[in-house]
Amino acid sequence: MLVTFKEILSDALDHKYAVGAFNCLSLENVMGAIEAAEELSSPIILQLAEVQFPYSPLACMAPIFLEYARKSKVPVCVHLDHGQSFETCAEAIRLGFNSVMIDSSLLPFRENVALVKDVVRMAHAMHVDVEAELGMVGTIGVTEASGGDIYTGVEESARFIAETGVDALAIALGNMHGNYVATPKLNITRLQEINARNHFPLVLHGGTGTSVEDFKACIHNGICKINVATAIQLRITEKVRRYVADDRANYIDMKYVIVDASREVVKEHLTLFESIGHA
């Protein structure tokens, strides 16, 4: 069933688990993700990031996301991940997405607030929820060597939430997008401070490669949504590589290898995020 972003995250916040948000780039990804969620009776978020549009066009993926969400036996939210402009968020809403993320985190604080406020005003008028980002969630190989305090500020987070009217906030705890070369150590103390100050749905980006210990600490201290993308891509690549080494490999069966790999990764993460049985 298709449910709202606010509804799916509110339950996670109240019952101290995290909803897995999976970047799905193909029909096979979506099939595997929904199968996993239904098997474990877990809510789930299907999402697509703007940087993924060149190989998974938004207008093509939206009907697939929505069809599987509406027919699913578990709660499903359809979400735009890392929208880079007001216009992209508007297009996702026009296509039926029931939540959007506007990522203007690289802008100065006041400019970030201003753009997020504009998107919130537009989205809420259409009964669509909004996620934003505050702090520096980097990209492997780009910002991991940056100096200074890259973490989201506690008082800054409270001001941002109050001024924008946003429905969820992605924060920076030392997490990054991509495939970690070493297991990161997240700043759980900062998370606890932000959570205590706001008691508000918080989001962790860059989930792939995070330790089980840090995942659990995040879930038990206010993180309600965890994004997973790279882990799915790595598992699919590994399983397809092994499959095509066999002379009997064929295209149709390879599609189901992708479905199976997607389902495996999603099941593992839904279990880790403690969302089993919360549908």
Question: Which residues are designated catalytic?
Answer: 81
Buried/exposed code over 100-123 (b: 16+ C-beta within 10 A; e: otherwise): bbbbbbeeeeeebbebbbebbebb
